[in-house]
Homo-oligomer: A and B are copies of this chain.
Amino acid sequence: MSITDLTGYLAAFLTTFAFVPQAHHSWKTRDLSGVSLPMYSLFSLGVLAWLIYGILIHSWPIIAANSLTLLLACIVLYLKISQNPN
């Protein structure tokens, strides 16, 4: 594998799995006060768009990475909305 491909896979791995500690932290502490609702709304929509893009171009790495990120971002978004209904 080339250094370029390796960098791309490392990047995809890090930006996907970064949301595991955030979802875990939010779930455990239920402390969402510093988390921005507009951020997770826009980000979840964006990740959904990446998922649709991956389906349209038949790219399994894009589909897999963004399915996981969408799940994790939606957990944080759900916790934020449920604590901040107005």
A4 nearest in chain B by CB position? B56
Asked if residues A46 and B15 are in contact (CB atoms below 8 Å), the reply is: yes
Q: Which of B4, B39, B41, B49 contacts A57 (CB 8 A)?
A: B4
Provide the bound-state CA to CA distance between A10 and B56, in Å: 14
Measured CB to CB, the closest approach of chain B to A4, in angstroms, equals 4
Provide the bound-state CA to CA distance between A42 and B3, in Å: 20
Asked if residues B34 and A33 are in contact (CB atoms below 8 Å), the reply is: yes
Provide the bound-state CA to CA distance between A79 and B7, in Å: 27
Q: Which of B8, B26, B49 contacts A10 (CB 8 A)?
A: B49
Provide the bound-state CA to CA distance between A41 and B56, in Å: 31
Asked if residues A36 and B50 are in contact (CB atoms below 8 Å), the reply is: no
A10 neighbours in B (Cβ, 8 Å)? 46, 49
Cross-chain pairs A/B with CB under 8 angstroms, 18 sampled = A3-B56, A4-B57, A7-B52, A7-B53, A11-B46, A11-B49, A11-B50, A14-B42, A15-B42, A19-B39, A21-B36, A21-B39, A21-B42, A22-B35, A24-B36, A26-B34, A32-B34, A34-B34
